[in-house]
Amino acid sequence: DAGVTQSPTHLIKTRGQQVTLRCSPISGHKSVSWYQQVLGQGPQFIFQYYEKEERGRGNFPDRFSARQFPNYSSELNVNALLLGDSALYLCASSLYRNYNSPLHFGNGTRLTVT
């Protein structure tokens, strides 16, 4: 079975640009979460989507948005990129919405903003 897949693996953008990151969950998983990981810190929660609806949002500005499609894949969009948005963006899927279920992570998208 395929795991969580994310694309692209690496991305270089300049300040002010917009970026879209994509994630395909494990087949049968309806919950998708996005996390941002900056070097030296643990992953920080950005969004959770379940059954195509936003179920939670972390402490990130409105420049960050996401959506989940009928096939449960998800996109994370970041507008007006800042240098501080440079990070590894991790997508994770889980079978259930609650956190008794372990998260299954993708390999991440490394975003560099110059």
Binding segment toward another protein, per CB under 8 A, in 14-22, 39-47, 61-69, 73-81 = 39-47
Binding segment toward another protein, per CB under 8 A, in 20-28, 54-62, 66-74, 75-83 = 54-62
Angle at 102 between CA 100 and CA 106, to 5 degrees: 150
> Can you tell me which residue has the tokens 């953008």?
13
Contact 53, 34 (CB under 8 A): no
Selected from 58, 67, 73, 110, the binder of another protein by CB under 8 A is 58
Instruction: Give CB contacts under 8 A, 24+ apart, made by 57-66.
Output: 60/36, 66/34
Selected from 106, 109, 111, 113, the binder of another protein by CB under 8 A is 106
The residue ranges that bind another protein (CB under 8 A) are 3-4, 33, 35, 40-45, 48, 55-56, 58, 90, 97, 99-108
